[in-house]
Amino acid sequence: MAHGRAAALTLGPGRDKSLRQRHPWIWSGAVARVDGSPAAGDTVVVRAHDGAFLAWAAYSPASQLRARVWTFDDEPVDEAFFARRIGASVRRRAALLDAEHTACRLVHGESDGLPGVVADRYGDLVVVQLTAAGAERWRDPLVDLLVGATGATAVVERSDADVRALEGLAPRTGVLRGAVDGPVAIVEDGLAYRVDALAGQKTGFYLDQRDNRRRVRDLARGRDVLNAFCYTGGYTLAAHAGGAASSVSIDSSAEAIGLARSNLAANPSIRAADASWRTADVFTELRKLRDHARRFGLIVLDPPKFAPTAAHAARAARAYKDINLLALKLLEPGGLLATFSCSGGVSAELFRKIVAGAAVDANVDAAVIAPLAASADHPVSLAFPEGEYLKGLLVERR
């Protein structure tokens, strides 16, 4: 392909190693020279210091992450390119959608070869989240291609993640295609949920926890369950569907608790007379439960992102240790703790050390039964380990 008129990034000596290993990010410090005058989101050719072709990438002058690779092949980056990438991503998830499962992630950013592009399916609705300058540049064609690949009747944009500010992009939200009148109905593992795609957390539902909700459902029979940071009740419904004896679910959002209650009510087959809901600060409520000597057979800790970057890791570590220490004290012997971190700034190794430290401080003997991770619709490219943002542990108190 001819590169003559394309703007180009030339990397410094020795700064091409990660690209040759197919890592899709180019930091500003790796760029020795910019030829041409590329605007935010423009496609640029990336060359090694000796002039060798490396990739085509989306340029982002406002960000320290100066470019994100669209392709390592020398091919046109045009609408046909995006049609191939989106079509492949949707086809890869086809087996994850059926009558019992009507929601899943369709496009997972870099791990699907579409940096800065997230698309989630909720029945006939697709929710898109664009977090990078290149994705923003191709916004309208991407939306049209997603509609074409899925047959969706409505599209909502939830490009309101904080990381957009690092790209010099303002938040954008709203209905882009069709009409959305309130929460949309989905089915997961045969359970009915309503999802607030316009104002809920992330794109409306924690799709990445699908496999882990199934795991909790399989483990819940006869147990008293505590669901901390319960959001719209996914783990609570799963636990009661699995035969939990009782549940206490806590979240600071009254709106989330309201939707959680209605989700439970929408599943009359679930016997959940002993489900209680508390709108409260989770840290404070866990301490109250400890002070009242409550005990639970199964506890889920799925907190929000405490550390968006590594710079926040120390502060986040204290918060993670605090809630895990409290949870381990609330766990009865033989009880199980499913604990998670979705913080990109906290590695799996660090998270395990935090939970281990919490067990020491709680003076309990505990063991990891299994690692927990995001569901199959959130793949992690082997060339992009940063994509593994969700870390979890299933811990048994001995």
Return per-residue pLDDT of the chain as tens, 398 residues: 667 678 999 999 999 999 999 999 999 999 999 999 999 999 999 999 999 999 999 999 999 999 999 999 999 999 999 999 999 999 999 999 999 999 999 999 999 999 999 999 999 999 999 999 999 999 999 999 999 999 999 999 999 999 999 999 999 999 999 999 999 999 999 999 999 999 999 999 999 999 999 999 999 999 999 999 999 999 999 999 999 999 999 999 999 999 999 999 999 989 877 999 999 999 999 999 999 999 999 999 999 888 666 777 788 889 999 999 999 999 999 999 999 999 888 899 999 999 999 999 999 999 999 999 999 999 999 999 999 999 999 999 99
Instruction: List the Cα angle 178/182/187 in 5-degree steps.
Output: 90
pTM for this prediction? 0.94
Domains, the chain, ordered by start:
8-71 (2.30.130.10), 79-182 (3.30.750.80), 206-397 (3.40.50.150)
CB 127 within 8 A of CB 169: no
Which residue, chain included where needed, has tokens 């993670």?
A: 320
CB 112 within 8 A of CB 185: no
Q: Which residues face 55 on adjacent strands?
A: 46
CB 83 within 8 A of CB 75: no
- Predicted pLDDT at 2: 62
- Rg (C-alpha) for the chain, rounded Å, is 23
Tell me, letter by letter, the H, E, C secondary structure of 62-85. CCCEEEEEEECCCCCCCHHHHHHH
Q: Is 104 an active-site residue?
A: no
Considering 342, 373, 390, 395, which one is annotated as catalytic?
342
DSSP 3-state of 332: strand
Strands 154-159 and 125-130: parallel
- Rounded distance between C-alpha atoms, residue 45 and residue 64, angstroms: 18
- Rounded distance between C-alpha atoms, residue 117 and residue 198, angstroms: 18
Which among 187, 282, 293, 193 has a CA at the least distance from the CA of 236?
Answer: 193
DSSP 3-state of 19: helix
Q: How many other CB atoms are found less than 10 A from the CB of residue 347?
A: 16
Which residue, chain included where needed, has tokens 């039964």?
A: 369
- Rounded distance between C-alpha atoms, residue 274 and residue 287, angstroms: 21
